[in-house]
Amino acid sequence: MTESGLAAAGGTVFAGSTAEGAALLRAAGALLRDRNLRGPDRLAADMIPWALRASALVKVPVIRRIMPWAIERRMPGSVWFELARTKYMDDVLRAELAAGTTQVVLLGAGFDTRAYRMPELTGANVFEVDHPVTAARKQARLRGRDIGHVRYVTIDFNREDLATRLAANGYDSTAKSVVIWSGVAPYLPAGAVSGTLRWMSTQAPDSCLVFDYVWQELVDGQVATRLARTLLKAVNRQGEPFRSGIPRGRTTEFLAEHGLAVQEDNGPDSFDPYVTRTDGSAVGPVWDFGGIVRCRVPQ
């Protein structure tokens, strides 16, 4: 696997790594004026490098206000989907921590800023798992911030074993965990997705995994909507095609086959609470060919 992720759509609009693309969508979401709609990631813009490219406009006062709309024009549904994903995953994390979980794993963390922007995480054992190149870039961009509570677990998923790398960095597989796997699964071959899900199923009972997926029908080219066509074209052009999905409506069975129990499966119909303006109106179309699932290791 090279650097990739569903959230990479921003990267296809404005050049940069796919992890930066995801950060760009979050940075844009955080600039929205409507406070109900606005995204929570106020640190995301710090993860975008100053460079002679359009994504850096997200850092420029006044001009940056047009960014959410400029991105939505080029990649319809992307900013809204990222808002839904970020807010939902934040909510799950808060709920799990409030229920007593103390171990947090950000799998393929990229420029995820949760560990630095969510006060709830300062007392947790946080593991950011990522490729050494991305991890180094991120730490450079976080310079000046307190990162002492985060353990950076560098890994090359193509060559190294997740369980071994986590254990070497102090992860306790007998303690309950919450694992965030954002913007990664659609780009992995089915075998790599299965491997990660099976690893998850061997974690402490009642541990929680939250991740986003696309429908297998999208991967197979059977979803003919404008939003789907635009995104597929973009990821293919970038050389990072979607490689696997979950058959539409079959998430429960799919995860059960991997030893996990679905708690919530949010399809496009459930994104409204995260993408509704203060006056109650909804934004334009959100990516509608996948979902965000919260599942657990059975007790």
Ligand X SMILES: C[S@@+](CC[C@H](N)C(=O)[O-])C[C@H]1O[C@@H](n2cnc3c(N)ncnc32)[C@H](O)[C@@H]1O
Q: Which of 55, 113, 182, 203 binds ligand X (CB under 6 A)?
A: 182
The 3-state DSSP class for residue 121 equals helix
Least separation in angstroms between CB 216 and ligand X: 20
Q: Per-residue string for binding with ligand X, 100-139, x by CB under 6 A?
A: --------xxxxx-----------------xx--x-----
Q: How many residues does the chain have?
A: 299
Please list every residue from 59 through 98 that binds ligand X, using CB under 6 A.
Answer: none
The smaller minimum CB distance to ligand X, of residues 10 and 76, is found at 10
Least separation in angstroms between CB 126 and ligand X: 14
The smaller minimum CB distance to ligand X, of residues 110 and 298, is found at 110
Least separation in angstroms between CB 209 and ligand X: 13
Burial pattern 264-283, b for ≥16 Cβ within 10 A else e, equals ebbbbeebeebbeeeeeeeb
Asked if 105 and 180 count as a contact pair (C-beta separation under 8 A), the reply is: yes
Please tell me the distance from the alpha carbon of residue 214 to that of residue 157, in angstroms, as a whole number: 21
- Tell me the residue number closest to ligand X, measured at CB: 5
Please list every residue from 152 through 181 that binds ligand X, using CB under 6 A.
Answer: 155-158
Cβ atoms < 10 Å from Cβ of 58: 27
Is residue 27 a contact residue for ligand X (CB under 6 A)? no
Please tell me the distance from the alpha carbon of residue 293 to that of residue 290, in angstroms, as a whole number: 10
H/E element holding 130? strand 125-130
Is residue 19 a contact residue for ligand X (CB under 6 A)? yes
Both tokens of 146, joined, read 């307190």
Q: How far is CA 239 from CA 1, 15, 203, in A?
A: 11, 13, 33
Count the site residues for ligand X by CB under 6 A: 25
Q: How far is CA 4 from CA 8, 88, 260, in A?
A: 6, 21, 25
Is residue 18 a contact residue for ligand X (CB under 6 A)? yes
Least separation in angstroms between CB 8 and ligand X: 5
Is residue 13 a contact residue for ligand X (CB under 6 A)? no
Is residue 10 a contact residue for ligand X (CB under 6 A)? no
Contact residues for ligand X, defined by CB under 6 A: 1-5, 7-8, 18-19, 22, 108-112, 130-131, 134, 155-158, 182-184
